[in-house]
Amino acid sequence: PPSGVSLWAQPPGGQVALGDRLVLSCAVAAGTGPLSFSWHRGGSRAPLGTGPRLELRHVGDNDSGHYQCRASDGDSVAESVPLNVTVL
């Protein structure tokens, strides 16, 4: 099963100016087979995106919050620690 899901942001720390670009990346330390990724904000069920990267091209006021990456191998799911994104 996937484990050690890490999440990082560009710009670092998830502090991004209004209208700027935010890129979130997800990596898995361990796991076998093909993995699927999904992105969630504030505990919402509907994914913001799929794949190991999430790109927000023009960040708005409503984009701030806690983002999480989930990695799944089809059987089990591992989540990253939430990253707090702040729009400046």
Dihedral sign, CA of 15, 62, 51, 68? positive
pLDDT in the model for residue 40: 96
Alpha-carbon distance of 69 to 36, in angstroms, equals 10
Q: Where are the domains of the chain?
A: 3-87
In the CATH scheme, what is the code of domain 3-87?
Answer: 2.60.40.10
Stronger pLDDT, 32 or 7, i.e. the higher one: 7
Residue 22 C-alpha from the chain's centroid? 11
**Mind listing the pLDDT tens digit for each residue in 23-52?**
999 999 987 678 999 999 997 889 999 999
pLDDT in the model for residue 72: 95
pTM for the model = 0.90
